[in-house]
Structure 1
Amino acid sequence: MERPELAAALANAEIVVDRFAIEAGVIAMARAIHADYIGSVPVYLTVMHGGMPFASLLAMELGALGLDLEFDYLHATRYRGQTTGSELVWKHRPATSLQGRRVILADDIVDEGHTLAAVRAWCKEQGATEVRIAALSVKQHDRCVAGLCADYVAVDVPDRYVFGYGMDYHEQGRNLPDIYALKD
């Protein structure tokens, strides 16, 4: 199956959150996280691939505020290049021990939350004392997995197909500096 052209998607999309609003949201989020983690060094888990641009910016903002982090990453996906999710596939689990640690999961979006719920449960099974979710964006709807919500959110996005700033359109456009939503 041939993947759709990113240029065609962009022609049928609009910017719903620009990079300046994203950056302002991340700066505000960093202040809240810093206040909650003073005196500790949390394990900072980036959820790949989508969480990477956001997690990098947030980590730098936290460092500017003086909060040290222990970095690791995980790669768990339900999408594998598709636009709808299926079963969870682990591509990489963190090597850092989570036993007795506070964990921050940094991801690009909370949509329905199935992937993050599974990852959070896994972290707790590994002995994490606390697992909080820092999300670049949260989709505005009422279909979230029961009990899952982001603890820190930079921006809200509409209940449409969104891409850019880490989120992909058929594995394309993750490096777009704004968040787009398809019009149709």
Structure 2
Amino acid sequence: MVLKDMNDIRQEADCLRSAAEVEEALTRMAQEITEAMDGTVPVGFCIMNGGLFMTGRLVDKLPFALELDYMHATRYGAETTGGALNWKVRPERSLKGRTVLLMDDILDEGVTLAEIIKYCEDEGAEKVYTAVLVEKMHDRKAPGVKADFVGLQVEDRFLFGCGMDIAGYWRNLPALYAMKEQK
């Protein structure tokens, strides 16, 4: 895509949540996470690439000792629909007996998140918490998948901004946008 196309997409998109609403959601999530993790020394994992925005904005609001790392598993790549899980970077540190906080941009169908949770449990994590900035509201979620901490719930549309992209672009927007629906 060319710059004009990217700018046109943003101009035509619907802003679902403002930057202020996103910031408020992150602050609330941090309070909930802090209460839940009281007395633990967790390891937090940013799920790349989408989780980078949220993780960066969330961790400075967490007032407890936190080891921070990342993992990279995707079903999307530059596509708009998911396929098989592709591990690009697995955690190098031991998860045995650890409390784990997984931080990602979105819970859509939950297939990727479910596989990452299972991986952490198989590696011996004592407890795995999940935090997502956005949860899409629909009935297509993988059975039993839910996030422990959710910032915003939105309608089922193609989203970008706040870590989510369109063709690899616009992850950097501080507000949450949805593609204009085709009529």
CA distance in 2, matches of 1:81, 1:12: 21
Q: Give the one of 176, 179, 183 matched to 1:182.
A: 179
1:100 corresponds in structure 2 to 97
Tell me, in whole angstroms, the C-alpha distance in 1 between the residues paired with 2:37 and 2:158. 33
Q: Does 1:110 align with 2:101?
A: no
Give the unaligned 5+ runs of structure 1: none
Alpha-carbon displacement from aligned partner over 1:87-130 (angstroms, at most 9, x marks no partner): 11000011121000010100000000011011010011100011
**Identical-residue share of aligned pairs (%):** 42
What is the total number of aligned residue pairs between the two structures? 180
Whether the aligned pair in 2 keeps the contact of 1:140 and 1:158 (CA below 8 Å) is yes
Out of 65, 68, 72, the position equivalent to 1:71 is: 68
Distance in 2, Cα, partners of 1:56 & 1:158: 25
Question: Any stretches of 5+ residues in structure 2 without a counterpart?
Answer: none
Which residue in the other structure is 1:87 paired with? 84
Partner of 1:137: 134
Question: Structure 2: which amino acid aligns with 1:182?
Answer: M
Cα distance change of structure 1 residues 91 and 3 upon mapping to structure 2, 3 Å threshold: farther
- Structure 1 runs of 4+ aligned residues shifted over 6 Å read none
Please, what TM-score do these two structures have when normalized by structure 2?
0.95
1:121 aligns with 2:118: yes
How far apart, in 1, do the equivalents of 2:14 and 2:70 lie?
Answer: 31
Residue matched to 1:11: 11
Q: Is the 8 A contact 1:52 1:107 kept in 2?
A: yes
Q: Within 2, Cα distance between the matches of 1:137 and 1:68?
A: 25
1:54 corresponds to: 54
Offset, 1:68? 1.3
RMSD, aligned CA: 1.2
Task: Using the TM superposition, give the Cα deviation of residue 58 of structure 1 relative to its aligned residue in structure 2, in angstroms.
Answer: 0.9
CA distance in 1, matches of 2:60, 2:94: 23
Match of 1:27 in 2: 27
Q: 2 CA distance for matches of 1:138 and 1:3?
A: 30
Compute the displacement of 1:3 (Å). 7.2
Measure, in 2, the Cα distance between the counterparts of 1:28 and 1:137: 13
CA contact (8 A) 1:72 1:95 kept: no
TM-score with structure 1 length normalisation? 0.94
Q: Distance in 1 between matches of 2:6 and 2:144?
A: 35
Aligned AA (2:77): R
Rounded to whole Å, the distance in 1 between the matches of 2:154 and 2:93 is 32
Paired with 1:11 and 1:20, the residues of 2 have a C-alpha distance of 19
Matched, 1:149 2:146: yes
